[in-house]
């Protein structure tokens, strides 16, 4: 060794492993328009499907006349529920244990519901024929309000189960009731509230919105009648689960189904579920023997495939007069639309809403959630969050603010005195979770110092005086949030979807020349898995990340996994990747010892090699070892260097963060100007800081959208009012503020590399932070709670109702 010999640090850096700000390998193709999405697929003889959709939110389907549509040149078939019924495919199971119409079976339950599926030789002919399918409807009374849906005399929405007293999640007490889910100790909580010094009570509504990925949902189904194999390309966030579900409901043996998720242009939960378009495309391909493509347009995406949120959360929070929280009570009315198509682990019909005690040490709590049917689109997916965690975070972070008002306390201080302390982890929450790790006080103090919190409050007070003196019409708001996420579903003992345990997987093959391919059960939709998982592996096995190919999404080649949503990829598949890497390393150690002619125990791992203990100049690199694995007969060791790991996480991971937003509000126009946004995230070990920063920016921008304008709104007749991007708010760069990102690092104690999820944290924490800032601006005038989205007129309306226009 001499001065030119790379040091261990230099060798580690050259691997571009964990901690490296490696550029995303995916971007070369994405930024050059070379991605390969479902709609890019072109196949010989491919047909196109298009839906006839209901203009009514609740109506009986009296008749469907296909004749004129079938006469359009190029039209091959028009499918209705009658055609699917003999195959028993006119209904399909949902991920939530309910069932959903594939095509309208006698009635429709939401505007935009699929009524008939036109199949034609090109999409123009299909669109022409859709216009010509004559459907006769008989309008029924519409219910869009979940509270009215539970009235004794409310119309029966789901006639198919009207008399069933038992649902997938226990007893039903009304014909429009889906389930009641209770957690915690009701009696103890109510007793605490009854005796508390202070109780703050508020209804917190988290409005209905939609993930609205850049690419809409779609698929191509191709049934090969010669070999009996069905190939299904689609925008699937969980391709293996789709394969299993497709097999179970179609009767096609699972080995004869190949599901492929190609490049996906964003998912955010919208692409977890199974949609009528997939079923109809498969049936149409089986019937015609030709590939059938179905891709929804933007309006169809917003009106029919999975929405998010729509939780009415009635809360009570009790505290001592010093501000120590003594109990939390919540009753949620969950509007699920016409079918319960939530994508949650089976045992969690309201997802992880029971993380609603947040970052606080709350001794006793109670949560009840009632799921209700209405005449709205089905869904209830985790839009850039773990299951219902953003609802939970919004609820507790609003309740904290309301309690601060009740106590006449600073909301930052109220949080500080109630945080779970670092020495309390692992912490068992009152609603049943074991928080794995956290250091909230450190993060909070760092955040408050970074923004100069005390000075901001002084400036705000000065601004308020100017406002009262008539010198300005702008108010300043300071939004605070400390959130705790729960991601990485999850331990198979309590997390499954349709009976499939929520483990995940990684399979690694090391090539003889020392490069590698790894395949995972997850599927990137923009998260950059090909970049980050290669980094995990680089650090584990000492092969440069650039020499590792990552492949996902093809069920014929990838190991079984539950897919990508709920920030589970890094906590679960990332762990599987590390564990598979360690299996590779274990075998490599034996090979290295053989090559170095020492005992296995006499070599030690050193970044990218095994070296003889005490003689670092005697070593074999991973590259040497890989070659030997394929070229030498080593006694007692099989040739080759491969490993697979199926990882069942022992616990969830609990990322957290401290966010602070400062904004100015023009009380006369309702316009808001985000002056600054500081986001401190703690996601444990940081695999790629640049990707984390990108994830945080993206999640915060979606949070901005939701908090400040984005909604799926219906009128009283169940007509969707926000069905285009003119009215459904997606921020452009113009509306997007500058973000300041920061971090602390509290590794997960149970994850192999200490990592937690991060992609969804900014949405979970961002929404309450923006909303709290708006509320905070009006706090001196008596505002307690005003529902999102805080668009111009609603903000104006706050000012108006507080008399600020008089």
Active site amino acids: 237, 384-385, 760
d(C-alpha 726, C-alpha 709), whole Å: 12
CB closer to another protein, 347 vs 805: 805
Give me the least distance between CB of 283 and another protein, in Å please.
Answer: 23
CB closer to another protein, 442 vs 800: 800
CB closer to another protein, 122 vs 254: 122
CB closer to another protein, 581 vs 670: 670
- Which residues 6+ apart lie within 8 Å of 446 measured at CB? 658, 680, 742, 744
Give me the least distance between CB of 687 and another protein, in Å please.
Answer: 34
> What H or E segment, with its residue span, contains residue 773?
helix 761-778
Joined tokens for residue 443 = 């993060």
Give SS3 for 171: strand
CB closer to another protein, 598 vs 804: 804
Concatenate the DSSP letters of all residues of 663-730 into one string. EEEETTT--EEEEEEEEEEE-BS-S-HHHHHHHHHHHHHHHHHHHHT----B-TT--BS--STTTS--
- Which residues 6+ apart lie within 8 Å of 623 measured at CB? 513, 514, 543
CB closer to another protein, 202 vs 300: 300
CB closer to another protein, 299 vs 409: 299
Q: Binding residues for another protein, per CB under 8 A?
A: 123-124, 127-128, 131, 297-299, 668-671, 709, 713, 721-722, 726-727, 729, 731-732, 734-735, 791-793, 796-797, 800, 805
CB closer to another protein, 427 vs 796: 796
Residue 629, judged by CB atoms within 10 A of its CB (0-12, 13-18, 19+), counts as buried
- Which residues 6+ apart lie within 8 Å of 98 measured at CB? 167, 168, 178, 339, 340, 341
Give me the least distance between CB of 668 and another protein, in Å please.
Answer: 5
Cis check: omega of the bond before 346, within 30 degrees of 0 = no
Contact between 345 and 489 under an 8 Å Cβ cutoff? The reply is yes
Region for residue 380 given its phi and psi (left: phi exceeds 0; alpha: psi -120 to 50; beta: otherwise): left
Using CA atoms, how far residue 163 sits from 92, 160, 174, 205, in Å, is 20, 8, 9, 30
| Sheet (strand 59-65) strand order | 107-108, 59-65, 134-139
CB closer to another protein, 300 vs 760: 300
Name the residue among 63, 213, 74 with its Cα closest to residue 133. Answer: 63
> What H or E segment, with its residue span, contains residue 166?
strand 166-167
User: How many CB atoms lie under 10 A from the CB of residue 162?
Assistant: 11
User: How many CB atoms lie under 10 A from the CB of residue 556?
Assistant: 12
Give SS3 for 596: helix
d(C-alpha 291, C-alpha 560), whole Å: 25
Concatenate the DSSP letters of all residues of 260-328 into one string. E----S--TTTTSS--HHHHHHHHHHHHHSS-EEEE--HHHHHHHS-EEEEEEEEEEEEE-TTS-EEEE
Give me the least distance between CB of 168 and another protein, in Å please.
Answer: 36
CB closer to another protein, 671 vs 742: 671
Contact between 40 and 110 under an 8 Å Cβ cutoff? The reply is no
d(C-alpha 717, C-alpha 143), whole Å: 8
User: How many CB atoms lie under 10 A from the CB of residue 803?
Assistant: 9
CB closer to another protein, 345 vs 723: 723
Give me the least distance between CB of 474 and another protein, in Å please.
Answer: 13
Give residue 802's Cα distance to chain centre: 37
Residue 780, judged by CB atoms within 10 A of its CB (0-12, 13-18, 19+), counts as middle
Contact between 416 and 441 under an 8 Å Cβ cutoff? The reply is yes
CB closer to another protein, 276 vs 670: 670
d(C-alpha 619, C-alpha 163), whole Å: 73
Joined tokens for residue 805 = 């226009």
Name the residue among 441, 455, 450, 475 with its Cα closest to residue 678. Answer: 450
d(C-alpha 549, C-alpha 543), whole Å: 11
Joined tokens for residue 19 = 């901690």
Name the residue among 747, 766, 646, 651 with its Cα closest to residue 706. Answer: 766
Joined tokens for residue 617 = 């100049």
């Amino acid at each position: 060794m001499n001065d030119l010999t790379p040091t261990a640090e230099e060798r580690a850096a050259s691997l571009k492993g964990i901690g490296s700000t490696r550029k995303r390998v995916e971007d070369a193709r994405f930024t050059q328009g070379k991605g390969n999405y479902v709609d890019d697929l072109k196949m010989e003889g491919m047909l196109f499907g298009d839906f006839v959709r209901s203009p009514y939110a609740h109506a009986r389907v009296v008749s469907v006349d296909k004749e004129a549509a079938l006469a359009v040149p190029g039209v091959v078939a028009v499918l209705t529920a009658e055609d699917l019924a003999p195959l028993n495919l006119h209904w399909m199971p949902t991920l939530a244990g309910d069932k959903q119409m594939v095509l309208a079976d006698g009635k429709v339950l939401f505007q935009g519901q699929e009524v008939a599926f036109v199949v034609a030789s090109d999409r123009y002919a299909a669109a022409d024929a859709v216009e010509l399918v004559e459907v006769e409807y008989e309008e029924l009374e519409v219910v869009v309000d979940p509270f009215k849906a539970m009235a004794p005399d409310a119309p029966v929405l789901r006639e198919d189960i009207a008399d069933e007293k038992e649902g997938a999640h226990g007893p039903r007490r009304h014909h429009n009731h889906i389930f009641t889910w209770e957690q915690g100790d009701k009696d103890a909580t109510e007793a605490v509230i009854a005796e508390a010094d202070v109780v703050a009570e508020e209804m917190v509504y988290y409005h209905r919105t939609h993930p609205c990925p850049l690419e809409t949902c779609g698929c191509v189904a191709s049934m090969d009648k010669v070999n009996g194999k069905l190939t299904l390309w689609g925008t699937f966030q969980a391709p293996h689960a789709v394969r299993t579900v497709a097999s179970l409901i179609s009767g096609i043996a699972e080995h004869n189904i190949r599901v492929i998720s190609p490049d996906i242009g964003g998912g955010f939960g919208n692409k977890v579920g199974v949609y009528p378009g997939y079923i109809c495309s498969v049936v149409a391909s089986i019937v015609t023997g030709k590939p059938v493509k179905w891709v929804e347009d933007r309006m169809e995406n917003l009106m029919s495939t999975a929405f998010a949120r729509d939780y009415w959360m009635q809360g009570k929070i009790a505290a001592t007069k010093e501000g120590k929280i003594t109990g939390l009570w919540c009753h949620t009315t969950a509007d699920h639309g016409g079918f319960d198509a939530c994508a949650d682990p089976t045992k969690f019909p309201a997802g992880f809403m029971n993380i609603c005690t947040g970052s606080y040490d709350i001794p006793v709590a109670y949560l009840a959630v009632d799921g209700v049917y209405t005449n709205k689109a089905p869904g209830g997916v985790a839009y850039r969050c773990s299951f219902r965690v953003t609802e939970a975070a919004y609820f507790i972070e609003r309740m904290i603010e309301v309690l601060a008002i009740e106590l006449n306390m600073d909301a930052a201080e109220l949080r500080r005195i109630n945080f779970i302390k670092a020495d309390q982890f692992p912490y068992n929450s009152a609603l049943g979770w074991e928080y794995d790790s956290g250091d909230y006080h450190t993060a909070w103090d760092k955040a408050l110092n970074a923004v100069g919190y005390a000075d901001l409050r002084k400036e705000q007070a000065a601004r308020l005086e100017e406002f009262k003196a008539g010198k300005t019409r702008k108010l300043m708001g300071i939004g605070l949030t400390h959130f705790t996420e729960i991601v990485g579903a999850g331990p198979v003992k309590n997390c499954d979807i349709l009976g499939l345990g929520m483990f995940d997987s990684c399979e690694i093959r090391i090539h003889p020349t020392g490069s590698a391919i790894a395949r995972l059960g997850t599927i990137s939709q923009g998260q950059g898995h090909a970049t980050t998982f290669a980094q995990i592996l680089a650090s584990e096995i000492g092969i440069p990340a650039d020499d590792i190919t990552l492949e996902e999404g093809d069920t014929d080649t990838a190991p079984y996994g539950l897919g990508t949503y709920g920030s589970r990829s890094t906590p679960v598949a990332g762990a599987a990747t590390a564990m598979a890497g360690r299996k590779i390393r274990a075998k490599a150690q034996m090979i290295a010892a053989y090559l170095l002619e020492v005992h296995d125990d006499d070599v030690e791992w050193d970044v990218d090699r095994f070296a003889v203990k005490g003689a670092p100049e005697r070593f074999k690199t991973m590259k040497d070892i890989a070659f030997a694995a394929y070229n030498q007969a080593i006694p007692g060791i099989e040739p080759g260097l491969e490993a697979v790991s199926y990882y069942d996480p022992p616990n969830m991971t609990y990322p957290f963060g401290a966010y602070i937003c400062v904004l100015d509000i023009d009380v006369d126009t309702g316009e808001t100007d985000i002056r600054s946004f500081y986001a401190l995230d703690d996601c444990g070990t940081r695999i790629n800081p640049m990707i984390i920063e990108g994830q945080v920016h993206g999640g915060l921008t979606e949070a901005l959208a939701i908090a400040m304008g984005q909604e799926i709104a219906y009128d009283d007749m169940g007509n969707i009012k926000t069905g285009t991007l003119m009215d459904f708010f997606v921020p452009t760069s113009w509306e997007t503020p500058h973000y300041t990102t920061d971090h602390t690092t509290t590794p997960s104690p149970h994850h192999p590399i200490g990592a937690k999820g991060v992609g969804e944290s900014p949405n979970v924490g961002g929404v309450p932070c923006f909303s709290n800032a708006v509320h905070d601006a009006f706090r001196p005038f008596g505002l307690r709670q005003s529902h999102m989205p805080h668009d111009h007129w609603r903000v104006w309306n706050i000012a108006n109702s507080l008399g600020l226009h008089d």
